[in-house]
Structures are given as C-alpha cells and as structure tokens.
Chain A
Amino acid sequence: MNLLLFSLFREKKRRRVVELTEKMVVDGGTCEWEGRWNHVKKFLERSGPFTHPDFEPSTESLQFMLETCKILVIGAGGLGCELLKDLALSSFRNIHVVDMDTIDVSNLNRQFLFRPKDIGRPKADVAADFINSRIPGCCVVPHFKKIQDLDETFYRQFHIIVCGLDSIVARRWMNGMLLSLLVYEDGVLDPGSIIPLIDGGTEGFKGNARVILPGMTACIDCTLELYPPQVNFPMCTIASMPRLPEHCIEYVRMLLWPKETPFGGRKSLGLIIIKFDMRLTRPLLTNGVVLDGDDPEHIQWVYQRSLERAAEFNITGVTYRLTQGVVKRIIPAVASTNAVIAAACATEVFKIASSAYISLNNYMVFNDVDGLYTYTFEAERKENCSACSQVPVDLHFSPSSKLQEVLDYLTESASLQMKSPAITASVEGKNKTLYLQSVASIEQRTRPNLSKTLKELGLTDRQELAVADVTTPQTMLFRLSFTS
C-alpha cells in the first residue's frame, strides 16, 4: 500500500471514529442530547433510603457537576487514563491532569488513551486531547509537569483531587501539600479548607482505593507501615555471594557498569570514582554514562554481563526480560486491575461531589488472583503522625549519639521512611545546616557532621530540628528529646 493510500485510509478511519463518537447516543436522543445524563440524574434528582444524610435531591446538582465542580487527576498512566474516562462519562467536565512522563510502548497494553503514534509525547497532553475530542463538552486541561512544580495556588482551586500515582514518595508529597492547605481558626479546622484526596494504587492483580479527608481521617503517612520499605539485596551477596539470577544482574548494574563505564564513559587515569550509598538504588556516578533502563543497548549489555557472572557461579535463570525487570524495577500491570481501582475511585469522587451517598470509610483492598476478594476497613489516624498530627515528633537520642544515627532513624524507621533528609537547626541563634545530601558541595561540607555527636554540634534538649525531604512539600519539625 503506498504512502498516499495509507494516509488516506488513516484519515478515513479517523473521520469515521469522530463521526461515530459524535453520533453515539446514550439512552435515546441526540447531542448534549436528551437523556445523555439520565443515569447520573437518577442519583442526583431522586431521594432514596441510603443517601447521605445531607443529600437533597435537586435538578441543580447536575449543573454543578457539569459546570462548576473542578477535579484534579494526578497521573495519566494506567489509573489516570481510566479515571479521566470514568469522570468524563460521569458528568464531570472541568478536569485537570498532571503527569511528568512521556508515552512508552509498554504503556499501550492498558493506557488506552494512547496509540503507537503517540509514543514519546507527554501523557498529560495526549490524554487530554483524546478525552476532549471524544467526549463532547468535556474540557481536560493537561499539565506536563512534576507535581512538585505546581504550588498551593494551583492545588487550592480544586474541589476534589484523585491520584493514580506509582510512587509512595509522590503520594506523601501530595498528602503533605493538602495538609498544608488546611486552615485552623482558634484551633478548629475550617471544613472549607479541606480538599478530599482519593488515592488509588495497583500492582499486578492487587489494588487499593482510599478516601482521605485531610485533617479529619487517616492520611497517607498515618498508614505508612502498610507500605513496607523496598528491600534491596545485601551488598555482600551482590559483591561476592550471588545465589539468584537477580543477584547477578544487580552486580552488573551496581558494580560492573560504573567500573567499565560502557557507551562513552571517561575513565580518569585508572581511578574510578564511585560513591556508594546503600539507601539509594543507584550509585552516584561522577564520571561515565548513567545506565538507562529504557535503552535496549544498555539492557543488552547488562544482560550479557549478567550471563557471564551467572555462569561463573553456576546460576541459571538470567533472561533479557528478568534483566530489564530488575534494572527498571518493573512492576507487572494489566488493564483489568487498573480499570477496577480507577472505577472505585471515580465512584468516590462522584459520591463526594454529589453528596448522594456516604463515601467509602475509608480503605478498600482488591485482589483477583483467586476469585475476587475485597476487604473494606477504616484506617485509623495515627496520634503522632509525622504529617498530620500537627505535633512536632519527638526524637529520642542521647547527647553523645552521632548525627549519623539521627539520619539513619529518619530514613529507616517504618513510620518516617524518608529518602534523603536535609537537617537544619538553630544553633547559637543562627540557622545551621547540619547535613544536606542533594547538593554535592554542601554534602561534602556537612559530611563531617555525621560523625560528630549532637552535643558537639551544639544541639540542646527540647530544641527543634527542621527536616526537609522529597516525601513532604513542607519542612517537618522534630523535637530533640535527650535521653540520659
């Protein structure tokens, strides 16, 4: 088929789809068509025995949903695509979507707003285009950004925020942002400042959906222990005692790649500079090309070397697929789980926006490995939650403890799980950075503090430490409580 015919065929197909979409009818009638929202109106305009105590049937509710209600969808991936579609078909028209990623071929098995031709384009943009062109009247505004690039003025404009994120760090940040928007008058929370957060997560055949009313119900950090920290293999196993094919792959990724710096790395006269931090998942390369999990050549290199490593120890099972999975920390995913969890979340958005029913209180888990299993429970607020309890968290250390111990506690404790906290404190009237990792020069300058004791650093009992970390948009306050 020559190129002209092919593009004509494509154009004909595209026009057909537009035609079908425009003429697709729901419940009889035509455009902005009569009966279009019948399935929604039944829940907004009729009374019922199970409605929310505050619910009053009204013909104006539909107008609110269509014209006034503003929803923010975080993530335009597996959950995000489903969420946008579900919300648009449930009469929400003012929707914003934030996503910092571009489309990859491996997304296409479930992120159905994208086509092969969209590979490489920003997810937020393509998703918005698709919904806006297929669902008449809907207006999705895309933001090709990190959530951290947007500020409180942005977030404050929404009635409800629904997340389809793939990272706990991002969830915690969003959680922290909404907590920071809360307004307290004389110690009493102003309900108008609460923006409900509906959070969905999936992994293979498992998923969960939860409703968070910041300041009122359990927040993300209240239940941090539900997400146990990711376990990495011990270094000695990787370096000298591999047993599994995964160990061989990690060896190549963490040790061999920085040493051999393939694909154009520069070696400085035999001295290879590798910094190692057990808490990070990749070495800080100060020379050489960083391993790119999306580059098939890189993965092929790692795969070949992993086979060699495995052969040395008589280990079987290294495959290309396993290699890619380990390097990229791939989580398996299918369309069905994302459809289910997004649908549950969208139902909650509808309930909250319309007050038609009491919303989920407050956590549902789903698993369809063996039949279909759901479990719904009320996650409880943590009294001393580091994010939402408004009380500075006590840190118990003896004055002779080293700063490193405090750092370890912040990163390793199940209730805090910080990534690379930066600690500052007021010492002798001056604001002093005790340790900061993310800027190399400051890291170097403050590194000696790690081996100094709290007493040596001039810290006193009951003093506040301010800690900044990617897991929260606001600085977290801790109170040092000296033990004898």
Chain B
Amino acid sequence: MAATNASKEQKYDRQLRLWGDHGQEALENAHVCLINATATGTEILKNLVLPGIGAFTIVDGHTVSGEDVGNKAQAATELLQELNSDVSGNYVEESPDKLLDNDPEFFHRFTVVIGVHLPESTCLRLGSVLWSASVPFLVCKTYGLIGYMRLVVQEHTVIESHPDNALEDLRLDQPFAEFKNHIQSYDLDSMAKKDHSHTPWVIVVAKYLAKWLSEHNSQPPKNYKEKEAFRQFIREGILKNENGVPEDEENFEEAIKNVNTALNPTKVPNSVEDLFNSEQCNNITSQSLSFWVMLRAVKDFVHKEGNGSLPVRGTIPDMIADSQKFINLQNVYREKAMQDAAAVSKHVECLLQSVGKPPESISEKDIKLFCKNASFLRVVRCRSLAEEYSVDSVNKDEITSCMDNPDSEMVFYLMLRAVDRFYQQHSRYPGVYNYQVEDDISKLKLCVNSLLQEYSLNVNIKDDYIHEFCRYGAAEPHTVAAFLGGSAAQEAIKIISHQFVPFSNTFIYNAMSQTSATLQL
C-alpha cells in the first residue's frame, strides 16, 4: 500500500527539515545502483532506503555459498525493501564485468552508481563507462579497520550548500539607495527613549558610520585601534539618565558587539569569482545547465546593476528592536533582493534567447533561490579514475607531501592500492587464512615496492602497515562497514539532491585512531 502524502510528511519530517520538500522529491526520483551486496554495500543502501530513495538495483553475481536460497543480490533486495515500502528494489544476478561486456549502457539509467569492493580492473572499466555517460560514481571499500571512498564526478553544481557559518549580507559599507533613505528616516538624537532603545543595531551602526566617515575623510575604521575607537564612539551614544549614568540599551550593546563583522567589506567571494572565470560560465550554449546560465546572468548583473556586488541576499538576523522597526528594515532588504533578482531574471531571459531557448526554461522561483544563495555557490569537480591511476597524471605531489608524515592517512590509500595489486597477482587477498599471514607479508611488501616504483613515488611505507594489512585478511568488520555506510549514503544523497557539498575526491577513515582525511588524487 503506497503511503499517502500526509503520512510520508510525518515519517520524513525530521529529514525534511534538513533538505526540504524539493530535496525529498529529488531523492524520490532517484534510482541508485549498488554493486556488491556486502556488509558495506547493504549498510550504504539501508541508509538510502530509509530516507526514501525512489528505487535501487543491486548488481551482485556472488552466490550465497552452500545454499540455494537465491543469490546475495536477491536476499539483500528483499531485506532492504522491507525497511521502507515507499522504495522499489530490483536485483541483477550478474557480475559487473559481465554487464560491462554485454550491456554497458545498463548503467546509464542510474542517478548514481555505488561500487563496493570492486577489483581494480572492474573499477577502472566501470569508471570509464560512467565518466562518459556523466553518471556519478562512488567507490567504497572496507578493509580491516580502514574505510575508503572515492567520488568520481566530472562536474557537480551546488546552489544550496547550506554553509554552517555564513556571514550576513548587510551592505553597511555600500548602502544601496533604499537603505540610505531608510537610515535617513531615523534621527537618533531626537528619539524618545523607548524608540532609541529599540532601534535595530544595523541602523545604529549605519548612523555612526556615516558620522565617522564625514569626520575621517570617508575612510571607514580599518585596524583594531580604529575599530575600538568606533565602538567607543557608539558607546557614547547610549542615553544617560539625569545622573549621567548610561541606561540599559541592549540594542547599542548589540551594535558594539557586531562592529567587527558589520565593517566587513561587501565583495564577491573568491570562490564565486573563480566560477565567473570558468569556461562554462563564459561560454553559454543551448546545452548549458541552468546553473551556468543563471551564474552568467549573475555575473552580468554584478558588472552592471550590481556595481560590483552580488544580488542582495534579502535576509537579516534577528536583533533587539520593536516589531515595526525590525519588519520595516527587513522589508528594505527583502524588496531590494526582489529587485536584484528581477534584474538577474532579465539577464537570464537574454541569455536563453541568445541560445534559442524559451524564457520559461528557468523559473522565477529557481532564479530567486539562486540569487539568495549567490555567495554560497559551489562546484565540485573530481579527476577521473583513469587520471588517478595513470603513471602520467598520478598526483605525485599530493602523495609525497602527505607522506612527509609516514603515519598520515595517505599510507592507507597506498596500502589499499598495494593490496589490489596483490589480488591481481595472486587472485586472492593477503592473510585471509592464518597460515598465510606470515608469508604474505613479504609478498605484499613486493607489491608495495612495485607500486611505488611504477609511479616513481619516493616515499617510505613502514613495515608495520604491511604487517597490519596482512593481519586484516580482507576482513570487513561490521562497525567499520557501518561507519562507511552512513558516510557514503549521505554523499550519495548530496549528489542526488544537489544540496550540501560532497567531498572531493578521496576519503579515508581510520577506525584504529578514529581519524579521517580527505585527499585529492
């Protein structure tokens, strides 16, 4: 029985508060492919089924040994399906290699492909197919106490990155006309106490800043000394009672506290400037994604109506004030934001027309959302696996500089590569059986050395790590699989929803020390 919208709203309430109805919609339209239903694979999928992805397909050619209950793929599909009746699950009892041989386009239908415990050759083959088809690929592995993830996506745009600590967009250094007028409507010197104490701090700072500028040759406070003087200047504006004792004016205290951030110059963040300078922004075609069309429109706005600044965000933080003063101030910013968004809209229309697309291709709603998030736009680009693995383009610098510390998480990446090599040579992993451990240490060491030699990596890998990786015997402890399961699932959700920022491009988790690192390979 399919759930009604009301009960889905209730069930998903806690996560809707994070990614909204539109994020949930993206999830429900997604079809995820999991290759290999190992403990890690099923954990990842569980954390995607629970929040309600539309569909999943498990590809696994392994059988459940000694039993004829159907294979692993089927068993896992049924158990996972049971977790959430909103989700539809399928399975394909086939190895990914066979599928790549016979029907590589099978993988084109997926929103994201998650490959777990793939041997190197399969991984590279699949990586190449998915790269050409622009299907995001997430490679995951649990090996002993080490978790590994690699994201392979050519270009992933994020409008709603939801940064933890966003700076406010108050424009105190460059007040726009309507803001200036609004400030002018206040006369602090002639206000009754009640109004004086309930004037928003933004107005207070704006007023005192205007005075300061007129007395300092239009130069705002720049260094610590000047900012201190400015704070003192505001403090002196606090009303005093008949005995000359300063009254309790919390709004003025707020103003003083916020001087530092209030004086931050309004500028286009470097990350956004970089996006403005990118090829996709400057070369808009009929194939361009909406993201780039809107970005270009914002760039054009910045150079024209924006006078060097992004469209006004339109939100202000809460502050001590009476309702009317606050709402009026908020409306000044809101209206300016709407105006700016409308101007950006015009640019969008022009651009769309210039490439022969109808203006309705990008909605007002999307443009408004884009403008509101203009400071926080992010684009993630990962190198292909081919580039990572090729001797010509291996990222030697990253590897050698990390390995200056021989205990950095980079050593685990190198060990995983060495272990892959071992598997290629011996058709098994090192140390799976107790009697193998001792001998495999020297065999694994040979693999390590050949790896380092092939890539001309002048780094030292301590014997302890080689011993440890033989000790692991390709074990997949459940707690490490579960850690990776949660991590990978959330990265997949980021890719699907285009909200929050995915990692780039390699993540290593060390359960021994409970540390992790993100590497660029």
Contacts and interface: CB of A to CB of B under 8 A. Distances in A.
Interface stretch (B232-240, B283-291, B448-456, B509-517): B509-517
Contacts of B464: 49-50
Interface in A1-25: 13, 16-17, 19-21, 23-25
Interface string B497-521: 0001111100101011111101000
A85 B518 CA distance: 28
A321 B16 contact: yes
A28 interface: yes
Interface stretch (A36-44, A189-197, A426-434): A36-44
Interface stretch (B45-53, B259-267, B349-357, B394-402): B45-53
Contacts of B478: 39, 86, 89-90, 346
B161 A370 contact: yes
B489 interface: yes
A336 B464 CA distance: 33
Given A243-B326, A347-B511, 18 more contacts: A20-B79, A21-B79, A39-B477, A46-B434, A85-B482, A105-B7, A106-B11, A106-B13, A313-B324, A321-B16, A324-B13, A332-B18, A347-B483, A357-B145, A368-B490, A371-B504, A372-B518, A374-B515
A382 B9 CA distance: 45
Chain A CB count within 10 A is highest, among B16, B46, B477, for B477
Contacts of A364: 514-515
B480 A347 contact: yes
Contacts of B491: 368, 372
Interface stretch (B60-68, B95-103, B335-343): B60-68
A99 interface: no
A321 B217 CA distance: 51
A40 B477 contact: yes
Interface in A49-91: 49-50, 82, 85-86, 89-90
B47 A23 contact: no
Interface in B441-472: 463-464, 467-468, 471-472
A21 B483 CA distance: 23
A306 interface: no
A347 B490 contact: no
B16 A370 contact: no
B495 to A, nearest CB: 13
A381 B288 CA distance: 57
A85 B514 CA distance: 20
24 contacts: A17-B79, A20-B75, A25-B65, A45-B434, A46-B473, A48-B467, A48-B468, A49-B468, A50-B468, A89-B478, A90-B478, A105-B7, A105-B10, A110-B14, A110-B51, A336-B47, A339-B485, A343-B479, A343-B480, A343-B481, A344-B483, A364-B514, A372-B503, A376-B514
Contacts of A169: none
Contacts of B50: 108-110, 112, 335
Interface string B134-150: 00000000001100000
Contact of B486 (A19, A89, A335): A335
B66 A29 contact: yes
Contacts of A315: 323, 327
Nearest to A113: B83
A396 B468 CA distance: 55
A338 B476 CA distance: 20
Contact of B471 (A46, A105, A336, A342): A46
B14 A333 contact: yes
B161 A90 contact: no
A332 B18 CA distance: 6
Nearest to B50: A335
Interface in B16-53: 16-18, 39, 43, 46-47, 50-52
A168 interface: no
Contacts of B181: none
A336 B323 contact: no
Nearest to A367: B164
A157 interface: no
Interface residues of B, number: 82
Contacts, number: 228
A57 B8 CA distance: 50
A350 B144 CA distance: 14
A50 B473 CA distance: 15
A471 interface: no
Chain B CB count within 10 A is highest, among A42, A82, A331, for A42
A374 B511 CA distance: 12
Contacts of A347: 145, 477, 479-480, 483, 511, 514
Contacts of B324: 313
B493 interface: yes
Contacts of A50: 464, 468, 512
B79 to A, nearest CB: 6
Interface residues of A, number: 77
B12 interface: yes
6 tightest CB-CB pairs across the interface, nearest first?
A339-B486, A340-B486, A343-B482, A371-B503, A49-B464, A343-B483
Chain B CB count within 10 A is highest, among A45, A86, A335, A360, for A335
A244 interface: yes
Interface string A150-183: 0000000000000000000000000000000000
B78 interface: yes
A70 B239 CA distance: 66
B272 interface: no
B279 interface: no
B479 to A, nearest CB: 4
B83 A112 contact: yes
Interface in A113-156: none
Given A335-B46, A339-B485, A343-B483, A244 B17 contact: no
B133 interface: no
Contacts of A283: none
B183 interface: no
Interface in B243-268: none
Given A20-B69, A23-B64, A332 B514 contact: no
Contacts of B66: 25, 28-30
B338 to A, nearest CB: 13
Contacts of B12: 109
A248 to B, nearest CB: 10
A238 to B, nearest CB: 11
Interface in A296-310: none
Contact of A337 (B46, B479, B486): B486
A334 interface: yes
A46 B483 CA distance: 23
A106 B14 contact: yes
Contacts of A284: none
B322 interface: yes
B226 interface: no
Contacts of A332: 14-15, 17-18
B188 interface: no
B437 interface: yes
Contact of A28 (B10, B65, B483): B65
A335 B47 contact: yes
Nearest to A13: B82
B284 to A, nearest CB: 28
Contacts of B482: 82, 85-86, 339-340, 342-343, 346
A261 B413 CA distance: 63
A242 B319 CA distance: 11
B17 A321 contact: yes
B67 A25 contact: yes
Interface string B64-94: 1111010000010011001100000000000
Contacts of A40: 477
Interface string A374-401: 1010000000000000000000000000
Given A325-B17, A342-B482, A343-B479, A370 B493 contact: no
B163 interface: yes
B198 interface: yes
A205 B500 contact: yes
A372 B516 contact: yes
A314 interface: yes
